Every structure is written in C-alpha cells, then in structure tokens.
Amino acid sequence: MVQYYKACKRELWFYANQLNMNYDDDNINIGKLIHETAYSDERKNILIDGEIAVDFVKDKDGAAIFEVKKSSRLEEPTNYQLYYYMWYLKNKKGMDVKGMPVYPPEKKREELVLTPEIEREVEGIVADIPNITNLKTPPKAEKKRYCRRCSYFEFCRV
C-alpha cells in the first residue's frame, strides 16, 4: 500500500476499501506478462508473513529483493514500496537487504539502500496509511500526470 500512498491517496483508499477496477486493462495485462516472462529462472512472488510479497530475491554480492515493473513512470512509488519491504525485513526479520527496481522493457535497474532518513519516512507513511484507508469517503482527487493510465481513471473522474 506504500506504493499507492506515494502515487495517489485516493487510489490507496479505493484499493484498501476493495474497489478494484479494470483488472482486464491492457496496461495491467502487459505488466503481468512482463512480470511472468522477465527473470524466468527466478522463483517469483515470495510471500513473507502474509505481509509483503517480493517479486524475487537474489543473494549474489549481498541479499537483494527485486520489484519488476513495466515502466519507470511511477519510479518514486515503486522505490518506496521496495523501501517498505526493506524496512520490514530489517525490523521484523533482522535482515539488511538491498532493493532493486527493474524495468525490463527499458533495460533499466537501480540499487536502493535504506538510509536512516528513508526509514523514518517509511515509518511515517506506515503510520499515516490507516488515517487514509479508514476514512468514510475517499480523499479528494488530485490531477496527476499519470491519471489517464490509472485503472481507476473512469471511476475517479479526475
């Protein structure tokens, strides 16, 4: 939910309140195909404590968790989702890992390191998420550059 928090608080509310839209959307289907075919040798979708689901893990030159995405358009939200996973593993499992967002169509990857500043920010986000998800109605819409590609676009009417 950290990714939704960073991308759009309204989308976070919709998702948390189980208003799931357009899962047959072309963009979502393309993303699923990339996720399934990229890094095909890796064990994928690793669920930890029923709380986090990392795309895959590698333990070469230090443990790293990977998040596979179709596009870097939502790079900051993707990075923060990985920071949350890294924070969770550090605080709940005593594991220090790197995060690696990868964008196969763009042949792009980055290495993320959890700094004390980012840890504090993640803790603030985790604390604030229930304040949004427990609202009786969704937060006010904010027009963002990626709204047109959002699966909630028609529903949201930004």
Encoded tokens for 41: 């040798």
pLDDT digits (tens, 9 = 90+) for 137-146: 999 998 888 8
pTM to 2 decimals? 0.83
CB neighbour list of residue 94: distance below 8 Å, 6 or more residues apart: none
CA 114 → CA 4, 28, 138, 141, distances in Å? 19, 29, 31, 31
Residue 28: CB atoms within 10 A of its CB come to 14
SS3 1: coil
Q: Where are the domains of the chain?
A: 2-156
Q: When comparing pLDDT for 104 and 8, which is higher?
A: 8
Pick the CATH number of 2-156 from 1.10.10.60, 3.10.180.10, 3.40.50.1220, 3.90.320.10: 3.90.320.10
